[in-house]
Chains A and B, each alone.
Chain A
Amino acid sequence: MRGERFLILPGLLFLLLFFGYPLYSILERSLAAPEGLTFARYARALTAHAYLEAWHNSLVFALLSTLAAVAGGLFVAYWTSGLPLRVKGFLMSLYAVPVSLSGLVVAFGFIVLLGRNGVVNQLFAALGLPRFDLYSWPGLFLVFPFYNIPLFALALIPLLETVGKGLMEAARASGATPFQAWVRVLLPALMPGILAGGSIVFAGMMGAFGTTLALTGFAKNLLSLQIYSLVAESTFDLPQAAALATVLMASTGVGLYVLALWERRYRR
């Protein structure tokens, strides 16, 4: 038995090397000054208007996207899990496609479909309808669920199939309408899974920037984009980027912690 403890060693080493070390180097860089330590970058990160706005935008954006993904994902997962086996298998492999696509490919797909001269807007124009602006906040909100809903649904479908169907039926046989069965039995029973899936989506959304960058450039003020611009653009300032990254990670961490606390209430 004691010997088994060493089995976690490779994993631990891996974490230290690929997670601990980068984390440490970011922290160190954000604090380092020629003459010791400085908190100036954090002061800037937490006071400069542009950064505060980015922070706020990122949080709201990630939260709303997560909510959309959870709601949409639940619906899609429930709908899919009730389909005949063959259709279900096909759909599930279809859901895996957006998850595995690069953000750039998705962005260009959306530009072709929904961009200024995209298929949909040409159709809208012909019908005399107002044009849909993909490069606005609502536009961005439309794009991310494209990944997140299938991702979330894929995570939830197995759970729904194993416990969900039986619980729904037990609730219905107890006299519950489908709505009552959903709200009083299925949702609470799935809550741990929902919160775990939500955590993944939330963390991903806090850091997402590839697709946003491809669609709107730097026009939308998000923390991830601020960091990217400090790392890759003429405004190059690695230590400041490191400070912002720390703020971003801390915010994500707090968000995940709250979700984990919430999840524990359901697991008891």
Chain B
Amino acid sequence: MVDLIGVRKRYGRVVAVDGVSLSVREGEFFTLLGPSGCGKTTTLRLVAGFETPDQGEVRISGQGVNRLPPEGRPIGMVFQNYALFPNMTVFGNVAFPLRLRRLPERVVRRKVGELLEMVHLQGLEGRYPRELSGGQQQRVALARALAREPKVLLLDEPLSALDAKIREELRGELKRLQRETGLTALYVTHDQEEALALSDRIAVMRDGKVEQLGTPQEIYERPSTLFVARFVGIGTLVPGEAREGRFHRDRPWPVQVEGEGRGFILLRPEQLRPHPEGFLEGQVGLATYLGSLLRLEVETEGILLKVDLNPQEEVRAGDRLRLALPEAAPFIKEEA
């Protein structure tokens, strides 16, 4: 549905997007994930038509769109700061794309009604944007983007200006809407949790390049680089060596790995369990109660392991603990 082929974009000396190639499938929720300044927004703007690539090609539905302005591309866009038209009511905002298409007013009214129902804003037609909460404003922006009946919905950190509770609520609704409409979505965020929760596939970006592309499970369970391992999820990277399918430090560990040579295994906190005959023995340095879980930092063999326990467990800082390791763990080779 959206294809980027070797796309590059620079601003002066900064290379914002450095040879990105990826394909978003029809009906897919695709996320660009990465830290600040890695080129996510620029990539999205290249698809939207606000920027033109210096090299490479952007295609939508198989059609090269490099020369098309945003109004000529089959896109709808939602911005981080909502960007609602302040001089128009909710109705006017959502009707704007429809009126541009010169639809009869009767049709406009019906469609706006449907869209507002879809985002649960019935009854607020007459309000002005500044009379709405942030969450409501972003729903209007979403309805406005959908009003154009785009083939691709582009979203640039649409939830990051909202507070945690509303963010999670709207996140669920966004996913539901995208499922129901079968719309292709290209989503930008620096929030890895959001990316995991929403996406069918994720491209993790770093310095203008795609570092890893895969499903949320692949990204979380088998990060291919240290950068991805550190950026996505919580865990401990344990340095050592892979030999004959097993991980070694000063002694062999009962952990299967794929690969050979020096590198790291990634241990997720939920994979480590206290067990009387556990392989590792350590001392709890820090125990933090987080409501749904108890997060420990356990010091063992010169490593600080993050371990998540049931919040009912009675473990305190200073306690000694044996930990069982997972049977297998992702192994990431040391970067050259």
Contacts and interface: CB of A to CB of B under 8 A. Distances in A.
Interface stretch (A119-127, A172-180, A215-223): A172-180
Nearest to B130: A268
Given A185-B85, A188-B87, A177 B79 contact: no
Contact of A173 (B12, B84, B86, B145): B145
Q: How large is the interface on A (under 10, 10 to 19, 20 to 34, 35 or more residues)?
A: 20 to 34
A169 B79 contact: yes
A84 B86 CA distance: 27
A175 B144 contact: no
Contacts of B48: 173
Interface in B124-176: 128, 141, 144-145, 147-148, 154
B81 A167 contact: no
A50 interface: no
A245 B173 CA distance: 64
Given A166-B81, A180-B100, A173 B70 contact: yes
Interface string B256-287: 00000000000000000000000000000000
A84 B71 CA distance: 23
A171 interface: yes
A185 B95 CA distance: 13
Interface string B16-50: 00000000000000000000000000000000111
A169 B100 CA distance: 15
A175 B148 contact: yes
B77 A170 contact: yes
A170 to B, nearest CB: 4
Nearest to B73: A173
A264 to B, nearest CB: 13
A185 B85 CA distance: 7
A172 B101 CA distance: 13
Interface in B46-68: 48-50
A256 interface: no
Contacts, number: 69
B70 A169 contact: yes
Contacts of A188: 85, 87
B81 to A, nearest CB: 6
A166 B87 contact: no
Given A174-B96, A174-B144, A167 B128 contact: no
A167 B49 CA distance: 15
A166 B83 contact: yes
B87 A266 contact: yes
B6 interface: no
B85 A173 contact: no
Given A166-B83, A188-B87, A173 B100 contact: no
A23 interface: no
Contacts of A84: 12
A189 interface: yes
A99 interface: no
A176 to B, nearest CB: 6
Contact of A172 (B70, B87, B128, B141): B70
Contact of B71 (A177, A184, A185): A177
Contact of B128 (A169, A171, A185, A268): A268
Nearest to A180: B100
B131 to A, nearest CB: 10
A172 B79 contact: no
B50 A174 contact: no
Which residue of B49, B77, B86, B144 has the most chain A CB atoms within 10 A of its CB atom? B86
A166 B85 contact: no
A155 interface: no
Given A180-B100, A189-B87, A173 B81 contact: no
B69 interface: yes
A268 to B, nearest CB: 7
Nearest to B144: A174
A184 B97 CA distance: 12
B73 to A, nearest CB: 9
Contacts of B154: 173
A169 B69 contact: no
B68 to A, nearest CB: 11
B75 interface: yes
Contacts of B100: 174-176, 180
Given A163-B86, A170-B144, A176-B96, 8 more contacts: A166-B81, A167-B83, A172-B71, A174-B76, A175-B148, A184-B96, A185-B85, A189-B87
21 contacts: A84-B12, A167-B85, A169-B50, A169-B70, A170-B77, A170-B84, A171-B85, A172-B49, A172-B69, A172-B71, A173-B48, A173-B75, A173-B148, A174-B100, A174-B144, A175-B97, A175-B100, A176-B71, A177-B71, A178-B69, A185-B85
Interface of A: 84, 163, 166-167, 169-178, 180, 184-185, 188-189, 191, 266, 268
